[in-house]
Amino acid sequence: METKSPVIHHTAAEGYQVRAETYVSGRPDYPPEVAAWLREELGAAPGKRVLDLGAGTGKFTPRLVATGADVVAVEPVAAMREQLIRLNPTVQALEGSAEAIPLPDASVDAVVCAQAFHWFANARALEEIQRVLKPGGVLGLIWNVRDETVPWVAALSRILTPHEGDAPRYVSQKWRRLFPAPGFTPLRERHFPNAHAGSPERVIVDRSLSVSFIAALPAPEQARVAAQVRELIAATPELAGKETVISPYDTAAFSCTKLG
């Protein structure tokens, strides 16, 4: 087990450090079908130990706790970890990274990466995940992804994407290049419809500002992005003047089992 300091992509280190609270309020929750996915695909249940890797503010952590499993969380960004501890006081939260997980060999039954795996999709991280998993343990990957089949959502992406720089993203699908991975079964894939309801300011503006590469922008550029997003809301009939709007998502869930 290595103890070296975690290496964090600069966009995550900068953006999530300053926008941890907005991340909590602006991000969607997960659909109810996730409970069955955790139970049936990952075997999360009482008597099992599950690692929430790259846990962020702990947005997904309550789903793991609800399975009755013993949950440990690992997160490298201090501001995110502080939010995680505040929101999930019963969960052990450790500083660490996917490339240096502060846990013993074969110590967990499942590893879950929620909204995170694209940040550390490399061979070293998979080796570490394989190391801490017990034989027959399961790796689960899950993301809430904006549903760009909806025109205003596609327009929102056109505002945000030009700022992404070299930030890793789920939508690039580059993370898939690691699979099928040595020592694991092929990926199993499922999709669930999801939605985030709330005020336009919270579910659209705050959500946009919580995107890593937007949160890492200088304040004047962030303000310009926010202004563009608010202009989009004002110009979209199903959003303008509404107290509550629905932001549609696709929840993409993947799993594979450690061989041996």
Sign (positive or negative) of CA dihedral 223, 225, 227, 230: negative
* CA gap 170, 108 in Å, rounded: 25
pLDDT at residue number 41: 97
Contacts of 218 (CB under 8 A, 6+ apart): none
Q: Check: CB of residue 108 under 8 Å from CB of residue 131.
A: no
What number is the average pLDDT over the span 155-161? Answer: 97
Nearest to 100 by CA among 71, 129, 122: 129
At 79-106, the pLDDT tens digits run: 999 999 999 999 999 999 999 999 999 9
Distance CA 215, CA 210 (A): 6
pLDDT of residue 186 exceeding 80, the answer is: yes
**pLDDT attached to residue 194:** 97
Is the entire prediction scored with pTM above 0.85? yes
Neighbours of 88 (CB within 10 A): 21
- Residue 250 is predicted with a pLDDT of 97
User: How far apart, in whole angstroms, are the C-alpha atoms of residue 188 and residue 256?
Assistant: 6
- pLDDT attached to residue 106: 98
Percent of the chain whose pLDDT exceeds 70: 90
In this structure, the strands spanning 92-94 and 108-114 are unpaired
140 with 41: CB under 8 angstroms?
yes
Say how far apart CA 202 and CA 103 lie, in whole Å: 36
**Predicted confidence (pLDDT) per residue in 36-91, tens digit:** 999 999 999 999 999 999 999 999 999 999 999 999 999 999 999 999 999 999 99
Could you please state the CATH topology (level 3) that the domain comprising 10-146+168-196+249-257 is classified under. Rossmann fold (3.40.50)
Instruction: Sketch the domain layout of the chain as residue ranges.
Output: 10-146+168-196+249-257
